[in-house]
Amino acid sequence: MMRTRPLKVALLGCGVVGSEVARIMTTHAEDLAARVGAPVELAGVAVRRPSKVREGIDPSLITTDATALVKRGDIDVVVEVIGGIEPARSLITTAFEHGASVVSANKALLAQDGAALHAAAEEHGRDLYYEAAVAGAIPLIRPLRESLAGDKINRVMGIVNGTTNFILDKMDTTGAGYQEALDEATALGYAEADPTADVEGFDAAAKAAILAGIAFHSRVRLDDVYREGMTEVTAADFASAKQMGCTIKLLAICERAADGESVTARVHPAMIPLSHPLASVRGAYNAVFVEADAAGQLMFYGPGAGGSPTASAVLGDLVAVCRNKLAESTGPGESAYAQLPVSPMGDVVTRYHISLDVADKPGVLAQVATVFAEHGVSIDTVRQQGKDGEASLVVVTHRASDASLSGTVEALRNLDTVRGVASIMRVEGE
């Protein structure tokens, strides 16, 4: 039997995502009520610019006092889509203190202060849900912390930023340079006027921290994630990748160490074989590849950003939290019992693709090979091209640690026959 008294929702932020959340709540009100078991009512919308016309939203719901809204006491759920650290953090904790559960899409805040927010939610007996914080409409957080809760996850690797995937895909398929591809992404609305958070990997790193924490039942903060942007990726890198039967993606990789005693989390460009499922992810789409003991290999794929896809994830969380409210229960909270430490990037073992500019004369390859051997880095393949006294040498290694590869590169730079290191890129997915 449906309850007649509505569950009241406060919406913090009414931009691209917030306005779509409000629209769906209004147009699908009857369906949401049937799915929840009670009417779900938009009770207030906090914004910075109250004079802006917001079609479909009752002007009487608009307020600039977000703190007063979450303190009302009759609010059941607060939906936070304003982003950033403050005032979002204070508003969320205040919501818990005044009896409301929270649905958030705030990846930066959750990556930085997720543990404290979970603790506050638990202290007050409230829910904290954030499916929309990682991969837009793609169901990912709930499968990791519920569907796979009985399994052991060993690796989570994926494309979690649509802007960077669009740029790299454009470079791959058309031969465009980085700046040309970025300009097209900006013109189409995929890239912000300041794309730094995307192209330098900050956005993906925050998502990696959240995913690693959930997958490995350990606390992983943004500062624990190694981050490397993609602004130095060139058309020449794609040409080399194609010669290896690979393409290049900006990947977020979270994995358990072989001995199971630690984890790593990193974001960086990488070559992946064209046979890997992630290689076929095109345009602004996201995809995450999960490897677990019992389930094996799973891939989650779909639109990872935009108003409608992100609002879909927010509404899914809203329905779940409202159901919990009616049942007088809460859903899964933080699971950090494993307390696995996060290893430094130097301990990460993977393959490498190194492109060197060298002198075109006898003995160069032998010198380079000796340096690799002295640092314990085994060479898989070598490709050399030379002309007019200059040459390029492309070395692909077997698996080696980041620390040993760094020592190798430093020694190579000291060789008289090595003019420079053109590029270094990791090779993943094999």
Distances, alpha carbon 258 to alpha carbons 3, 127, 343, 387, in Å: 51, 34, 12, 44
Question: Who's near 361: CB < 8 A, 6+ residues apart?
Answer: 389, 417
- Residue 41 labelled as part of a binding site: no
- Residue 123 labelled as part of a binding site: no
* Residue 387 annotated in active site: no
Q: Are 412 and 405 in contact (CB under 8 A)?
A: no
- Residue 325 labelled as part of a binding site: no
- Residue 42 labelled as part of a binding site: no
Q: Are 13 and 47 in contact (CB under 8 A)?
A: yes
Residue type, 193: A
Helix or strand (DSSP H, E) at 159: strand 153-159
- Residue 16 labelled as part of a binding site: yes
- Residue 192 labelled as part of a binding site: yes
Q: Which two tokens stand for residue 194?
A: 């300041």
- Residue 15 labelled as part of a binding site: yes
Distances, alpha carbon 266 to alpha carbons 38, 155, 366, 384, in Å: 43, 12, 33, 31
CA-closest candidate to residue 370, choices 382, 387, 353: 382
- Residue 246 labelled as part of a binding site: no
Catalytic member of 8, 207, 249, 325? 207
CA-closest candidate to residue 192, choices 223, 217, 166: 166
Burial class (CB in 10 A: 0-12, 13-18, 19+), 406: middle
Active-site annotation, residues: 207
Residue list for the binding site: 12-19, 107, 192
Provide the annotated binding site for NADP(+).
Answer: 12-19
Which residues are annotated as part of the binding site for NADPH?
107
Binding residues for L-homoserine: 192
